[in-house]
Chains A and B, each alone.
Chain A
Amino acid sequence: MIEFETVSKTYPGQSVAVADFSLVVPSHRTVVLVGSSGSGKSTLLRTVNRMVEPTSGRVLIDDEDVRERDPVALRRSIGYVLQHGGLLPHRSVLDNIATVPVLKGTPKRRARTAASELLERVGLDPKIGRRYPGQLSGGQQQRVGVARALAADPNILLMDEPFGAVDPIMRRELQEELLRLQAELHKTIVFVTHDIDEAFLLGDEVVVLREGGVIAQRGTPAEILGAPADDFVRDFVGADRAERELHITTVDGRSIAVDGTGRPVGVLAP
């Protein structure tokens, strides 16, 4: 469980990035922080592994203040996936995945074997383990990034716009892969994105942020889509967008879902 207790962050010489943010992320759930740039979502994420120290307030992991923990040990105990993969260009794919176990003292050979298994787990051919990140496609790099985050078997995964830099088709595949993994692994995931559709797809719970880390609304995707708290949320989730306005028409005795422009988007299951 991760708890944010009235967390504020002001960067020197700039206005407030996050003010009085409080949130509980329950264990084994995926919580998505969604907002446009300037909403402080990345800042919030980074307070969890102490890449950012809050100006005031505190962050607790299983009731323990993260400030009590050694930052290096803390970071090794949390999986972290970044937008650009953040892979080390001079290390082979296997060594990248094995980074944290090796830093923690696992023998290199054992760490590599485990890394090779992880490659399969994230849907990659173990043969690419000997290559360097520069030889992989963007999607492959992101999968390796996920594998690296899982290598030390952390309870918590922090994901900072991990699929933001790949093309839409690849992004869709990666999202499905993450859902599949999470169904098996039950990690506590904090996921940051500016893409509301991604948030609705992945989040057990979605937190919509305004400028400065103010929570505009939190709830399940259905709750937010069904009852936007205010105009900001309505606008942000695009509740008024034509493709969200579905209605049912009957064609040849089958119920067809049609969006606001009249384009059919699916068939109702019997």
Chain B
Amino acid sequence: MNWLSLNWPQVIELTRDHLLLSAPALLLSVLIAVPIGRLAQQRPRIGGALLGAASLLYAIPALPLLIIIPALFGVPLRSPATMVIALTVYGVALLVRTAADAFGSVDPRVREAAVAVGHSPRSVFWRVDLPLAVPVLLAGVRVVAVSTVSLVTIGALIGVPSLGTLLTDGFQRGIPAEVATGIIATMALALLFDALLVAAGRALTPWATIRHERPLPQEETT
């Protein structure tokens, strides 16, 4: 605690850096994975290949990926861009399957009824498929959010500042309190992300929270 009371401005700054790396990566992951997942669900043949590729991408360890990315994309090694790209790759790899499952979870009868009453293909996607996919999608996004926040720390090894800097710095200088602060702050940030996502999910899916209630008694006026 002594260490923290002397160094909290640095912790705050690193927390901000950590946020600025993880939040854009999470957002990009969702934006990229949802259309791919939708495609995978609609065209199972392409989908199988896409999902296979995604699970292979996910198998590549983080630190090596950080080192391969600059060689592929021409970004400098010690840059936030390298970090965001790597995190997005993992996020997409994890989320594509969830997104495909999420669209697969939409009752085809509901989708067909929507077509039958005159939804155009585009409004079926925006007004029916997407909102109904949110609960499953959100479960996946929560997993990705927590693992993204945790993965950001690896960037400290190549010199991208984040809460991970407390881990490497604390290790090199032999200060367990600094390392512990880094671990706890990272986990707290992950929990915060998770709580925000749960709250967002409640706000986005008011129908899902009450679905399990029993149907209300008959109240016909006639």
Contact = CB atoms under 8 A, between A and B. Distances in A.
Query: CB atoms of A and B under 8 A apart anywhere in the complex?
Result: yes
A208 to B, nearest CB: 25
B113 A135 contact: no
A177 B120 CA distance: 31
Contact of B220 (A46, A87, A99, A124): A124
Contacts of A73: 118
Task: State which size class the interface on B falls in.
Answer: 20 to 34
A131 B118 contact: no
A135 B221 contact: no
Interface in A193-224: none
B117 A80 contact: yes
Interface of A: 46, 49, 51, 72-77, 80, 82, 84-91, 99-100, 103, 120, 123-125, 127-128, 131-132, 134-137, 139-140, 143, 148-149, 173, 177
Contact of A86 (B113, B210, B211): B113
Given A88-B110, A89-B110, A139-B218, A134 B207 contact: yes
A87 B113 contact: yes
B53 to A, nearest CB: 31
Contacts of A85: 113
Given A124-B221, A125-B221, A148 B115 contact: no
Interface string B188-222: 00000000000000000111101101011111111
B218 A140 contact: yes
B132 interface: yes
B119 A72 contact: yes
A80 B116 contact: yes
Contacts of B112: 51, 86
A134 B208 CA distance: 9
Contacts of B119: 72, 99, 103
Contact of A72 (B113, B118, B207, B220): B118
B211 A134 contact: yes
B221 A123 contact: yes
16 contacts: A77-B118, A87-B113, A88-B127, A90-B208, A103-B118, A103-B119, A120-B221, A124-B221, A128-B216, A134-B207, A134-B210, A134-B213, A134-B215, A135-B216, A137-B216, A139-B220
Nearest to B211: A134
Interface in B115-164: 115-120, 123, 127-128, 131-132
Given A124-B220, A137-B218, 15 more contacts: A51-B116, A74-B118, A76-B117, A80-B117, A84-B113, A86-B113, A88-B110, A88-B132, A100-B118, A103-B119, A123-B220, A125-B220, A134-B207, A134-B215, A177-B222
